[in-house]
Amino acid sequence: MYGVVEGTGFEVFDPAFEACLIGHARVERLWTGARWSEGPAWFPAGRYLVWSDIPNNRMLRWDETDGSVSVFRQPSNNSNGHTVDAQGRLVSCEHLTRRVTRTEHDGSITVIADRFEGKRLNSPNDVVVKSDGSIWFTDPSYGILIDYEGERAESEIGACHVYRVCPSGDIAIVADDYLKPNGLAFSPDESLLYIADTGATHAPEGPRHIRRHTVGSDGTLGGGEVFAECTNGLFDGFRLDRDGRIWTSAADGVHCIDPTGKLIGKILIPEIVANVCFGGPKRNRLFICGTTSLYSVFLSVNGAR
Ligand code: MG
C-alpha cells in the first residue's frame, strides 16, 4: 500500500513545479477496488475523504485516522462530483436521479437542482460552491448516454450547460457554449472560474481544454478564452492551490498548470485520473481519483479553500 508505487513519479518542466514538491514525498496508493473513481471531497471536521465509484453506484469513505475504507452511501444514484460547502455539508452531483443534492447535518437530502425551466437536467457532473453560497455545476450528458454510469435517456434540455443556483434557489445558465462541460473551479479570490470541456469524448476534433472566465459581481461570466489544452487524454476534474496553480486530471496523471497557462509539471499515475482535491488538516495533501484507485501525495503547497 505505502512505499513507492510502480508507475508513479514526477515530471518537472519548470523549477516552479519542483518547488511544489517535497523531496522525499512519494505518491501513495491508499486503496484500490473501484471501477471509476471520481469526485473526491475532504471533510476537515471528520478527517475523512468521500468519493464516488460511479459504475458501482456507491460512495466510499477513506478515514485519515486509520486508513480504512468503507461504504459511505449505497446506492448513491451513481453520484459523480462532490464538494463540501462552507458549513461543512456534502454537495453532490447524481447521474441516475439527474440532480444536485446537499446532505444536511442530520443526514437528510435536500435537492438543490433537478430541472431548468421545467426540463430535467442531463446528468450533473461536477460542482463547486462560491463563498456567497451560490452553487455552480456542469451538466454534460455522460450519465444518460449509456447505462454504465447512470441510465440511458434522451436529453430534455438538448444541450449541455453550466448552471448557477443562488441561495434563494433561482437557477440560471452561466455558460451555454460548451460541448461537454466537466470540471470547474474558482481561482482563490473567486475572480476567475475555470471550466473544462471534454467534448472530445464524443466528437473527434472536439475540445479537450480548460477555459477561463471572469466572474462578475452579479454572477455572470465574461471572457471564456481557452486557458490550457490537454496534451494527454482529457482534463476532467481539477482544483486550485492557494497560489492559483491548477492541479488537473489527465490520462497520465495530474498536470500542474501555472496561472499563465503553462504546464510546469506532472504527477505520474499509472491509471487515468478523473479528479483531485486537496485535503488533510493543512490542505497540503493532494488526493487523486485514478480509475480503480485512490492515491495521495503530500505537497509543499496548500489547496485553496
Ligand atoms: Mg467530471
Measured between alpha carbons, how far is 195 from 55 in angstroms, rounded to an integer? 24
Question: 38 is written with which cell numbers?
Answer: 471520481
* 24 Cα: distance to centroid of ligand 1 (angstroms): 31
* 197 Cα: distance to centroid of ligand 1 (angstroms): 10
Measured between alpha carbons, how far is 244 from 291 in angstroms, rounded to an integer? 26
* 236 Cα: distance to centroid of ligand 1 (angstroms): 5
Measured between alpha carbons, how far is 191 from 24 in angstroms, rounded to an integer? 35
Say how far residue 208 (Cα) sits from the centre of its chain: 16
Measured between alpha carbons, how far is 10 from 255 in angstroms, rounded to an integer? 10
* 243 Cα: distance to centroid of ligand 1 (angstroms): 23
Q: For residue 51, which of 37, 64, 67 has the smallest C-alpha distance?
A: 37
* 15 Cα: distance to centroid of ligand 1 (angstroms): 30
Q: For residue 51, which of 74, 77, 67, 72 has the smallest C-alpha distance?
A: 72
Query: What confidence score (pLDDT) does residue 4 get?
Result: 84
Assign domain 35-263 one CATH number from 2.120.10.30, 2.10.109.10, 3.30.70.1400, 3.30.1360.70.
Answer: 2.120.10.30
Contact 142, 95 (CB under 8 A): yes
Query: What confidence score (pLDDT) does residue 1 get?
Result: 47
Domain ranges of the chain: 35-263
CA dihedral for 275, 24, 188, 12, sign (positive or negative): negative
**264 Cβ contact partners less than 8 Å away, ≥ 6 residues apart:** 12, 13, 14, 16, 17, 245, 256, 257, 258
* 96 Cα: distance to centroid of ligand 1 (angstroms): 15
Query: What confidence score (pLDDT) does residue 2 get?
Result: 55
Q: For residue 77, which of 62, 51, 61, 55 has the smallest C-alpha distance?
A: 55
Contact 155, 167 (CB under 8 A): no
- Sequential pLDDT tens for the chain (305 residues): 456 899 999 999 999 999 999 999 999 999 999 999 999 999 999 999 999 999 999 999 999 999 999 999 999 999 999 999 999 999 999 999 999 999 999 999 999 999 999 999 999 999 999 999 999 999 999 999 999 999 999 999 999 999 999 999 999 999 999 999 999 999 999 999 999 999 999 998 999 999 999 999 999 999 999 999 999 999 999 999 999 999 999 999 999 999 999 999 999 999 999 999 999 999 999 999 999 999 999 999 999 98
